[in-house]
């Protein structure tokens, strides 16, 4: 068991701007400006990892390759890149940024054979994003609901998945607290490391996640709460340490 939760700030990019969405709805964005400046802000605050989301790629409305490349090239943080990675071409483009890890979401459902092959090839360099809505997995930028969560986890376990990033889409961006029960059940259903995402609004929310360290919870991705300064990154790191 690791000593504490890894706190991972999120930078979501849409139309070249850092934004935060409510429940993944494209039209709900709050705009926070230059994504590179946001990334530098979290690096200066002490972040070792950055969760970088290309929302335009996720919604299939374009991409943000230029700001993504700038962030990876000019910051020292390890970058976890997600959004629109669904085939060999998009995978190659993502890896060419120099990111430390890529997340596969929709393709884990719609193209399972390809996803399982990528897991075998990349090992710890790939995580699978499980975007959950009522125990179904949401795809294509969360606008569609498809496969059963638990059968998908069983398949990913057989494929040798190393890490799952779990988002309850109904609490993401709402600052109403994480879905502890869902995260606990996912941790018990896999030997992969689990990263929580969505809903964290207070330091108490982070503290409530700490008992799951014993079950395999590795870290937590935080977006809106950091942007609106509900607490600082330093405070979040302290809350994640027993």
Q: What is the DSSP string of 54-78?
A: EHHHHTTS---HHHHHHHHHH--SE
* Residue range 24-33: mean pLDDT, rounded: 63
In a domain, 186, yes or no: yes
Per residue in 77-103, pLDDT tens?
999 999 999 999 999 999 999 999 999
Q: What is the pLDDT of residue 181?
A: 93
Per residue in 13-26, pLDDT tens?
999 998 876 554 45
* Residue range 64-77: mean pLDDT, rounded: 93
Say which CATH number the domain at 91 has.
3.20.20.70
Helix H or strand E encompassing 30: strand 30-33
* Residue range 210-233: mean pLDDT, rounded: 95
Q: Return all residues near 35 (Cβ < 8 A) that are at least 6 apart.
A: 11, 13, 16, 17, 18, 64, 67, 71
In a domain, 150, yes or no: yes
* Residue range 34-49: mean pLDDT, rounded: 95
In a domain, 174, yes or no: yes
Residues taking part in catalysis: 12, 131
In a domain, 1, yes or no: no
The answer on pLDDT for 33 being more than 80 is yes
Give the whole-number percent of the chain exceeding pLDDT 90. Answer: 71
Q: Return all residues near 89 (Cβ < 8 A) that are at least 6 apart.
A: none
In a domain, 92, yes or no: yes
- Expressed as residue numbers, the domain containing 188 is 6-239
- Please answer whether residues 32 and 221 qualify as being in contact, where contact means their C-beta atoms are separated by less than 8 angstroms: no
* Residue range 165-192: mean pLDDT, rounded: 85
Determine the 3-state secondary structure of 112 from DSSP. helix
The residue to which tokens 């790191």 are assigned:
237
Structurally, the chain folds into a number of domains equal to 1
* Residue range 171-178: mean pLDDT, rounded: 64
């Amino acid at each position: 068991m690791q000593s504490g939760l890894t706190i991972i700030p999120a930078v979501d990019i849409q139309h070249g701007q850092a934004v935060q969405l409510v429940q993944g709805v494209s039209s709900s964005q709050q705009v926070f400006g230059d994504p590179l400046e946001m990334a530098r802000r979290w690096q200066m605050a002490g972040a070792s990892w950055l969760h970088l989301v290309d929302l335009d790629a996720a919604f299939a409305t374009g991409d943000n390759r230029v700001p993504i490349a700038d962030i990876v090239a000019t910051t020292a943080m390890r970058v976890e890149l997600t959004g629109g990675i669904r085939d060999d071409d998009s995978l190659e483009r993502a890896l060419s940024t120099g990111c430390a890890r890529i997340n596969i979401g929709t393709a884990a459902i719609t193209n399972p054979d390809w996803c399982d092959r990528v897991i075998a090839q990349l090992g710890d360099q790939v995580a699978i994003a499980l975007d959950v809505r009522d125990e179904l997995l949401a795809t294509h930028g969360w606008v569609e609901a498809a496969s059963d969560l638990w059968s998908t986890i069983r398949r990913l376990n057989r494929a040798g998945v190393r890490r799952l990033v779990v988002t309850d889409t109904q609490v993401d961006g709402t600052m109403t607290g994480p879905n502890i029960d869902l995260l606990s059940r996912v941790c018990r259903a896999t030997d992969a490391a689990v990263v929580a995402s969505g809903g964290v609004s207070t330091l108490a929310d982070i503290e409530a996640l700490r008992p799951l360290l014993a079950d395999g919870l590795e870290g937590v991705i935080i977006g809106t709460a950091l942007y609106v300064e509900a607490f600082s990154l330093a405070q979040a790191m302290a809350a994640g340490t027993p």
